[in-house]
Amino acid sequence: SPPAAVSQVTVRDALNQALDEELERDERVFLLGEEVAQYDGAYKISRGLWKKYGDKRVIDTPISEMGFAGIAVGAAMVWLRPVCEFMTFNFSMQAIDQVINSAAKTCYMSAGSIAVPIVFRGPNGASAGVAAQHSQCFAAWYGHCPGLKVVSPWSSEDAKGLLKAAIRDDNPVVMLESELLYGVPFEMSEQAQSKEFVIPIGKAKIEKPGTHVTLVAHSRPVGHCLEAAAVLSKEGVECEVINLRTIRPMDIETVEASVVKTNHLVTVEGGWPQFGVGAEICARIMEGPAFNYLDAPAVRVTGADVPMPYAKILEDNSIPQVKDIVFAVKKALNI
């Protein structure tokens, strides 16, 4: 059979495709948030959707996260399927009561009789030069809470497949995107561009097989891990790179199987070290069957334990770079 067609698609276009397809597929789906309609989205994720679907399906909201997130949660409780965009996840703090106390807990507190099929999505973590109030990663915050599912895509395929899965899921899903990835093109297969393409929530992907050390990351640091792996490969070190894709429920089995094979673990994330995603992975490996296979302590590569500085050079020093990953791998391997 001829090779499947592969084309380059940006993360922005992959998200736009997913929203377009799901709005078309199910009339209960609607998008709301600041600037999502007439302006085509602050980051142009919703470009063309208002013109195509109109005011009832793509809704511009006032600057009031607590208000529009609450409206969205209420709509989900009566079986609509809202996609609620936060212009940055830092602003979801205004609405965290709605996300946690209303959306996440209602199914349990209603003994399963009220589902809340909602997606909260938008850029998460550091961008470039937006300082402390716009640069925090909320993966650990939202990943902490039962009742939520939390996804964190890296590639265009991740973005499309996970957003479609999130919209179709009957649970509240928090989708943490990276603003710095929106304009980045990735190869997407014909299959990934089909209308029925979804990525199961809760399943990690091995982006590069390897034998010497397991690198686990989510969102933008996955790319850094692959770059570090390419550098280390020239020195005879083969890294296995795992793209988590989902923060909750976490696919610890894939990480365990890899650690059993490589005997070394390095976790990489843009968030803060304390109580972070890497800390959780290390604890789960420690408590599980893979611990006996470790030949050295696991190493975490994280953001610096400071509010994000504004100056570019300080910002670069606060976010994991390729050199930091290479250094951590050498430390884990004692080379």
Catalytic residue among 21, 22, 34, 65: 65
pLDDT in tens, 310-327: 999 999 999 999 999 999
pLDDT in tens, 112-169: 999 999 999 999 999 999 999 999 999 999 999 999 999 999 999 999 999 999 999 9
pLDDT in tens, 236-287: 999 999 999 999 999 999 999 999 999 999 999 999 999 999 999 999 999 9
Q: What is the CATH number of the domain that holds 247?
A: 3.40.50.920
Using 50, 70 and 90 to split pLDDT, how confident is the model at 3? low
pLDDT in tens, 183-238: 999 999 999 999 999 999 999 999 999 999 999 999 999 999 999 999 999 999 99
* Interaxial angle between packed helices 11-25 and 156-168, expressed in degrees from 0 to 180 and rounded to the nearest 10: 20
Name the residue type at position 200: P
pLDDT in tens, 9-52: 999 999 999 999 999 999 999 999 999 999 999 999 999 999 99
Q: Kindly report the backbone phi and psi dihedral angles of residue 84, in degrees, each rounded to the nearest multiple of 5, phi listed first.
A: -105, 115
Phi/psi region, residue 236 (left: phi>0; alpha: psi -120 to 50; beta: rest), is left
CA distances from 17 to 27, 141, 167, 318 (A): 16, 28, 13, 33
State how far the Cα of 112 lies from the Cα of 96, in Å rounded to an integer: 22
Which of 162, 193, 224 is at the close of a domain? Answer: 193
Using 50, 70 and 90 to split pLDDT, how confident is the model at 5? confident
Following DSSP, what letter does each residue of 17-79 receive, concatenated? HHHHHHHHH-TTEEEEETTSSTT--TTSTTTTHHHHH-TTTEEE--S-HHHHHHHHHHHHHTT
Identify whether 218 is a catalytic site residue.
Answer: no
Residue 275 has a CB neighbour count (10 Å cut-off) of 11
Residue 183 has a CB neighbour count (10 Å cut-off) of 12
State how far the Cα of 49 lies from the Cα of 55, in Å rounded to an integer: 10
State how far the Cα of 201 lies from the Cα of 210, in Å rounded to an integer: 24
> What integer pLDDT is reported at residue 18 of this predicted model?
98
- Same domain? For 235 and 140 the reply is no
Residue 316 within any structural domain of the chain: yes
Tokens of 202: 């809760």
Residue 2 within any structural domain of the chain: no
SS3 assignment, position 95 = helix
Catalytic residue among 134, 212, 224, 264: 134
- Same domain? For 311 and 289 the reply is yes
Q: What is the CATH number of the domain that holds 98?
A: 3.40.50.970
Residue 200 within any structural domain of the chain: no
Q: Which domain holds residue 317?
A: 205-333
> What integer pLDDT is reported at residue 6 of this predicted model?
86
Q: What's the number of domains the chain is made of? A: 2
> What integer pLDDT is reported at residue 4 of this predicted model?
67
Question: 185-189 and 205-208: which strand pairing?
Answer: unpaired
Tokens of 222: 């996955």
Whether residue 2 is preceded by a cis peptide bond, meaning omega within 30 degrees of 0, is no
Tokens of 195: 């209308």
Are 121 and 293 in contact by the 8 Å Cβ rule? The answer is no
Which of 161, 193, 225 is at the close of a domain? Answer: 193
> What integer pLDDT is reported at residue 1 of this predicted model?
62
Q: Does position 2 have pLDDT exceeding 60, yes or no?
A: no
- Same domain? For 174 and 232 the reply is no
Identify whether 65 is a catalytic site residue.
Answer: yes
CB burial of 281-313 (b: ≥16 within 10 Å; e: otherwise) equals bbeebeeeebeeebeeebbbbbbeeeebbeeee
Are 175 and 83 in contact by the 8 Å Cβ rule? The answer is no
Tokens of 287: 């408590």
Name the residue type at position 224: H
Are 222 and 154 in contact by the 8 Å Cβ rule? The answer is yes
Residue 53 within any structural domain of the chain: yes
Using 50, 70 and 90 to split pLDDT, how confident is the model at 306? very high
State how far the Cα of 331 lies from the Cα of 322, in Å rounded to an integer: 14
